[in-house]
Amino acid sequence: MATTTVGIQYYNTYILKKINASNADNNWFVEESRIRGGYNNVSTGLSPRAFIETDTNAQQSLGNSLIYSGVLNSRTGINQTNVFSAGEDITKAVDPSKGTVQKLYAEDTNLIIFQERKVNRALIDKDAIYTQQGSPISTTSNVVIGPVQSYVGEWGIANNPESFAVYGYRKYFTDADKGSVLRLSRDGMTEISNYGMYDFFRDNMTNIGNGKLIGGWDIHNKCYTLSIQPQSGGYNTLNFDENVLGWTSLFTYEPDSLFSLTNKFFSTKDGAIYQHYSTLVNRANFYTVQNDSTITTIFNQNPSLVKTFQTINYEGASNWALTSFVTNEDEANAIAVYSVPLTLADMESQLLQNKFKAKEDKYFANLINTSAVTQGEVIYGAAISGVKGFFATAKLTATNTATSGTNELFATSTNYIESSY
């Protein structure tokens, strides 16, 4: 029998590292690029291994499929997370007509799969058998990814996985294609953008383009915060409060990401991390830019009645000013912040000034009309007390300083009479 040499194809990748130029005997290390290989060995053996050779070994991108690797056993130290055995059924596909898989989230023994136009749930290490009535029953199985079940509702996460946030069993995300913000919980999917903000999200999200929808859970206030950042520029950052089932605040900051950690709420901007609700800076200070706090309210009682709004009143801290009061017809003068009179002369001068005045722990001011004359009016302009209209929009502003503290605003109100004009 003649001696012969048989060439064996050996597929692997190695990296040679020169670590010590002064020591010729121990100059090179051989490192295998796979996780299971030994690191920093001075030699390696090329023992024969079985492999499957495919006809097409080019990279494939399957946007609607999942694949899982071998296991990582922390007790034995066996790490097979880099092993994808082509001889085993290790893939699971979802409906390709619903778009590509954008986000995966593991919850208990379920894997939630977010596609562009659908949300599914796959059982992990479980299988499902069905009763005669068609109800699924979960059973233990050696199947890694079990059957895929779709949630009710034709919503997905579009191309914005960055909108995803989770708190407890509630998952929040957006569907920009439908202009919707959604909550996935034990009761299924709920379109929370319908809580008084349907038109707003429809108008601001359907034209998002290649922009971003940054979502995060605010652990401090227990709110879902969403920043809408269209490709065309501009932004709207607002939050949803589960306690009132409504969108409660608009913010003047545009984050790159949002997250909570150790009961604190953070955001990032231009590579820096910022902690929100910190007592080390003034309130409404976002990314080193100081802002005023503003609240806009609408007075719309008896909307079919033409009214004359005579006063503006509020309960809260003393440092609120009225910066705008506008109706569908008229506009009022701005009203300055209340100041404590120190002398009798101060009290006399304040009676002639357009400032808030304190009475029984509330603040009041008359509304002075500043609109131009209209046909039929006898007296107009600054001589008129009160502004006419079906409804009014009032904007109150508080300046934030190191000593201003909490600018509480508990309630706003107005006194009006039926217009005689």
pLDDT in tens, 22-38: 665 655 555 555 544 54
What pLDDT is stored for residue 127 in this prediction? 54
In 3-state terms the chain splits into helix, strand, coil percentages (rounded to 5) of 10, 45, 50
Upper half-sphere CA count for residue 15 (Cβ side, 13 Å): 10
Give the model confidence (pLDDT) of 104-119 as tens digits. Answer: 999 888 899 999 999 9
- Between β-strands 392-398 and 320-327, what pairing exists: parallel, antiparallel or unpaired? antiparallel
1: pLDDT strictly greater than 50: no
| DSSP string computed for 86-140 | TTS--EEE--GGG--EEEEEEETTEEEEEESS-EEEEEEEEEEEE-TT--EEEEE
412 versus 361: the higher-pLDDT residue is 412
What pLDDT is stored for residue 135 in this prediction? 52
Give the full edge-to-edge strand order of the sheet including 392-398: 293-299, 392-398, 320-327
Is 363:248 a contact under the CB 8 Å cutoff?
A: no
Share of the chain above pLDDT 70, in %: 73
154: pLDDT strictly greater than 90: yes
Upper half-sphere CA count for residue 113 (Cβ side, 13 Å): 27
Give the model confidence (pLDDT) of 314-355 as tens digits. Answer: 998 888 999 999 998 888 888 888 766 666 666 655 555 678
What pLDDT is stored for residue 223 in this prediction? 96
Is 116:94 a contact under the CB 8 Å cutoff?
A: no
What is the rounded CA–CA span in Å between residue 177 and residue 367? 45
> What is the pLDDT confidence band of residue 131, given thresholds at 50, 70 and 90?
very low
Nearest to 107 by CA among 118, 119, 126, 122: 122
Is 307:418 a contact under the CB 8 Å cutoff?
A: yes
> What is the pLDDT confidence band of residue 194, given thresholds at 50, 70 and 90?
very high
294: pLDDT strictly greater than 50: yes
Give the model confidence (pLDDT) of 378-394 as tens digits. Answer: 555 445 577 888 999 99
What is the rounded CA–CA span in Å between residue 95 and residue 100? 9
What pLDDT is stored for residue 114 in this prediction? 97
Neighbours of 233 (CB within 10 A): 7
Share of the chain above pLDDT 90, in %: 41
Is 254:227 a contact under the CB 8 Å cutoff?
A: yes
List the domain boundaries for the chain.
1-51, 65-151, 165-291, 295-418
DSSP state of 337: P
What pLDDT is stored for residue 388 in this prediction? 87
What pLDDT is stored for residue 49 in this prediction? 54
228 versus 418: the higher-pLDDT residue is 228
Q: What is the mean pLDDT of the chain?
A: 81
Residues 6+ apart with CB under 8 A from 249: 238, 239
Is 41:67 a contact under the CB 8 Å cutoff?
A: no
Nearest to 105 by CA among 48, 56, 152, 167: 167
Is 361:345 a contact under the CB 8 Å cutoff?
A: no
3-state SS, residue 294: strand
pTM of the model: 0.72
C-alpha angle 16/22/23, rounded to 5°? 70
